[in-house]
Structure formats: structure tokens, C-alpha cells
Structure 1
């Protein structure tokens, strides 16, 4: 864990934080209405990070090996960041594992073709055994997934559309336009709200709270970026990839491997 430097709101745009190699790297740590609490190094081999789940003793992340066209789900110890297990999820032409969520002992991962208007399979993976317990096919690219109350909600390419899927039948209940201009990369249910994070461009993004099922945005926080942004480096918008939320605690995984888990505390 890095130091506990606190930054509030949009007031301070840049701080210096030691990178994994020990070199000082400036980054825009700003999350509107939030305090920066520190980072945790994640071990093992991560490629281009896609999704994040934070549990009491575990951290789960997905990453895509673009060069090898392979999809991965990774498990880490939450206290130490040590890599524990990983499983390959590549499914033929489908090798893009998106934003993920967890419920009832399953980690839900969408694995899609790397193109818009294509196809995806939604996998329910047993967190204890890493066996695939459920498979739901969707005739579109699904890049992020939230689960709660017998429903899955998935965003397609750039999350322009949100799919609501009945968990028992696997059937799509409805498809609605994204009420935000943000390209959601990861999303979670927090009570009746769908909390979704993503990028607007290479250097900024938002975290949005969406009332569900009405689809009305009730809160939106602006976010900055970390390090040299893609495609030139391994950083990018803080909300551009993995995101998880526990009450007022917001966790982000904005870097390709080697990665750090960024912890923020919302002011309210």
C-alpha cells in the first residue's frame, strides 16, 4: 500500500507517486467529491485490464491479451495483492472479457468479439472452483456487466445500449439507450442504483449513478487520468477500465499490468 495522501474534490490536479519501478510518475488523481486513499500493487501477469470486483478477501480482474487474442480472469489476495489463480476464458473469436460483477458465489464475465455489433457469451464462473456454471449467449458485443435481483444489465460497444437480461431464463427483457455520454467500461449495482464508470476521451471520464429501472442519472462525478494515456502508455482515464464500489469506497484499476488498485472515498 502506498502512502495515505489525501486529495479532495477537483482542487489538486497532479501529485507525484512512486511507480512500480520506483520512478516518480505524475498523475491526475482527481475524482470529483472524493478523497484519494492510496494504492495496492497487484502481482502476477495482467494484460489490458477490463473489469474489477472487490470482495472482503479477494480481488478479481479481467484482462485481454490483444497480441495473443486471449481472455483472462485473475484472482488476487485483497490484503497483499498477491496473484492467486487465473483462468483463460477465450471462446474462439470471442476474446474480449469485459467489466464484471459478482453475486451468489458467481463471478459474471462477458466475453465478446473485439468489434461492435458482434456476439458475446455471458459466463457465470464459480468463485470457489473457477468452473463455468452458466452461459448466456447475446447477439451483440457486451463489454460490461452488472448483476442483482435476478437481472443482468450489460452495456454493448461503448455502452451505447444497455441490455436487461432475465437471469433465470437468459432472455433479454429490454434494451434501452445509455442515458449518459460516457462509454461505460465497468458497472455494478449498489442498491437500486446502477453505478457505472467509463471514459469520455483519453484524459477524462465519469462515474454515474443511474436509478434502475427508470434509467435516470441521479449523480455524476468527473474523473481525471493516470500517467501517460493510451495508446502511448499503460495508463489512461481513472474510470476507463475496472471499477468497483463498496458503500462510499470506490476502487479503480486504470493501468495495464503491472497494475495498482486505486482507492478513493466518496465524500457522501
Structure 2
């Protein structure tokens, strides 16, 4: 069992230093790349990333057969497709340490993940909207995975609010948030409550959240991307990171991310991770599929404004 996280922020007026550093960022912020480390295994299609100690955890979907009915093509069908859900443990040098498979039958698409101080929370869904999911709790040391509950929707990402023992999920495209209250042992209190009564509409529309990270004080960072298709032009990828107030599930501060891979993929296309340093923020991104690189950026927040 990993060491238990103790909440570092008291309730009441919020003085969240990571959030305050994040709110110094702007469109004009200089993102300083400090490393670009190639990952030494096939990452397939990465989805979520968390850090426990000095180990990184990466969720990913390996698609063996594309599903139907998740676009509006005329040739779409009812097939859920075939695939394998993966959770990888690796070090910061991109070397694989351990891995497990998650999911069952048509449910093989892991999403964004979060760490509660003891366990990783990983959603695995069908690869199409308005479908179904299994929510797993994973011991980061033993990599033992326990299915906790099921949801009658595609859950594409999770946030664990350690200050209120609650779990938030975002669905396909992150248009809807769901909230589940938990007991101290991680059991769902309101599991049988109708899903529509747990739904909270996301008022943010400029990007779809791909991965989220709880940072304390009812706050989460959510990164995402939107892809626009101008006529007679290449796709345009818009990336961004939001500071989300979980009390109202609304963005408190929003920052565009204007960094791309050499092949033109915006950094927030896949998973991300943020860390606070004394006078800076460090961000990890893994935007590429299959043959991936772990991009690390440092922002001097004392000079951001």
C-alpha cells in the first residue's frame, strides 16, 4: 500500500498555492521545454496520467477494431468494436515498470485517471458515447484492480476530491459531470440514485476535457483539446487547461496551451500532469499515440505576469 496523502489545505478561505501559480499564466506565458523523453514501449492511445512517488501511471486504449455509432457516418453500425484497456506504470525516463489490463468485453476504453493518496481511480468505458462504464480502484504498488461500481454512460475521466470524499466523472466530450459521494472505505453512498439526478452540465465549451487532476480545496486542473475542421484546410487543434471549482463545477480560470509536437499535435491532446515547484509549475504531457514522447515543461510563475 502506498503512503496515505494528508490534505495540505484547510477548509475555509482557499489559499491554494498551486492554483495561485496557475492563475499567473496567460496566453503570453513562455512555456520552457526542459525535456523530451521517448517512451520505450507501445503506448497505443494514451488517456490519463498520474504520479505516485517517482512513478508515472498511464491509462491507454489499444483498439483492435473500431466501433460503430460514435460518429455520424452513414456506414456506422452497432458494433462496439474490440480492444484492450491498459494501465502502465513507468518511470520518468520512459521505461516500463509494470502493466495490467482493465475492462471486460465491449468495455475496454480507459479514460483520465486520478490518485486519492492511496489508490488510483480509473474509468473504463465502451468506445462510444451514451454507453456504459466500469469504475476501477487500483493499488499503485501491487497493481491490483478492484471494480467498484458501474455507470450507464461513457465516463471519460475521473477526479477524486480528497477533501470531501467524493468522486467526479466526466462523460464523452466532457459535456456532463457526475458526482458520487464515498464512505471512508471508498464505497459509493449514492450509487443507486438515478444518474440524471447526479448530472451537472459543464458550462465550458471551448475544449473537451481529456484528463483532470485534483489539487486540493475543491479545485481541479482539467486539460483538453478541441479539433476544428475549416473547409479546404487542415484540422486546427486548440488546447487548454482549466482550473475548475468543483463546488459549482465551473471554470475559475482558463489558459490556452500554445505548444505543439514537431508533427503539429497540441500538448493537451492526450494526458497531462501538473506539479508545483517553489517558484514554478512543471507540466508533463504525452500527446502522441503508439510511439510517444514524454514532454516536460517548466514555467517560472514569479515572472509569468
TM-score, length-scaled by structure 2: 0.71
For the residues of structure 2 that align with 1:134 and 1:105, how far apart are their CA atoms? 16
C-alpha deviation, 1:134, in angstroms: 4.4
Q: Is 2:224 the counterpart of 1:198?
A: yes
For the residues of structure 1 that align with 2:44 and 2:97, how far apart are their CA atoms? 16
Structure 1 residue runs of 4+, over 4 Å off? 8-11
2:27–2:255 Cα contact (<8 Å) kept: no
- Structure 1: which 5+ runs fail to align? 1-7, 12-31, 230-235
Equivalent residue number for residue 255 of structure 1: 288
Show CA shifts across 1:148-176 (max 9, x none).
22111111000000111113342367321
Equivalent residue number for residue 42 of structure 2: 45
For the residues of structure 2 that align with 1:209 and 1:139, how far apart are their CA atoms? 27
1:141–1:156 Cα contact (<8 Å) kept: yes
Name the SS for the 2:173 alignment partner.
Answer: helix
Equivalent residue number for residue 22 of structure 1: none
Tell me the matched-pair count.
234
For the residues of structure 2 that align with 1:134 and 1:104, how far apart are their CA atoms? 18
More helix by share: 2
Q: Is 2:74 the counterpart of 1:60?
A: no
For the residues of structure 2 that align with 1:258 and 1:56, how far apart are their CA atoms? 25
* Cα 1:151/1:33, change in 2 over 3 Å: farther
Show CA shifts across 1:190-227 (max 9, x none).
12211100102152211000122122322211123324
Show CA shifts across 1:11-59 (max 9, x none).
6xxxxxxxxxxxxxxxxxxxx4533222222222210111111233101
More strand by share: 1
Aligned pairs (5 A) from 1:143-154? 143-149=156-162, 150-154=165-169
Q: Is 2:229 the counterpart of 1:214?
A: no
Aligned pairs (5 A) from 1:102-141? 102-141=115-154
Name the SS for the 1:69 alignment partner.
Answer: strand
Q: Is 2:212 the counterpart of 1:187?
A: yes
Larger Rg: 2
Q: Is 2:175 the counterpart of 1:160?
A: yes
